[in-house]
């Protein structure tokens, strides 16, 4: 059987796209997998409503920013019973970044640079 070469993480990702693990079976090591005791099934990995504990669904919504200058298409998690909703973390970060840039545009270039430097 072939011997596994030493690789960086990036090289390893590319390597396994074109190679079969059965060719390197002798180089493989057993791994003990420990799962948190609260995780009993894949259901436990789903985002849950803090009120009713139902699985949160997701949808996309449009949100305007900058007085309607920009419309953002963001992912939102929500409870089907209407108890809870929140933007997905990546959508929340994107919305904050876009709103910050739009806020800076309200200032002149010199004032914006002062605000960024502060």
Q: pLDDT digit of tens for each residue in the chain (118 aa)?
A: 567 788 888 888 888 888 888 888 888 888 888 887 777 777 667 888 999 988 899 999 999 887 888 899 999 999 999 999 999 999 999 999 888 888 777 776 777 667 667 6
Which candidate, 91, 92, 101, places its Cα nearest to that of 66?
A: 101
pTM of the model: 0.52
Which candidate, 54, 1, 64, 59, places its Cα nearest to that of 27?
A: 1
């Amino acid at each position: 059987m072939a011997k596994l070469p030493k690789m960086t993480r990036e090289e390893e990702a590319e390597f396994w796209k074109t190679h079969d693990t059965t060719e390197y079976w002798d180089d493989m090591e057993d791994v003990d997998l420990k799962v948190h005791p609260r995780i009993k099934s894949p259901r436990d990995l789903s985002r849950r409503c803090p009120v009713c504990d139902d699985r949160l669904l997701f949808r996309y919504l449009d949100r305007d920013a900058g007085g309607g200058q920009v419309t953002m298409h963001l992912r939102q998690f929500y409870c089907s019973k209407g108890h809870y909703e929140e933007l997905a973390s990546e959508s929340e970060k994107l919305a904050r970044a876009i709103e910050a840039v739009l806020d800076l545009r309200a200032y002149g270039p010199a004032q914006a640079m002062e605000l960024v430097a502060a």
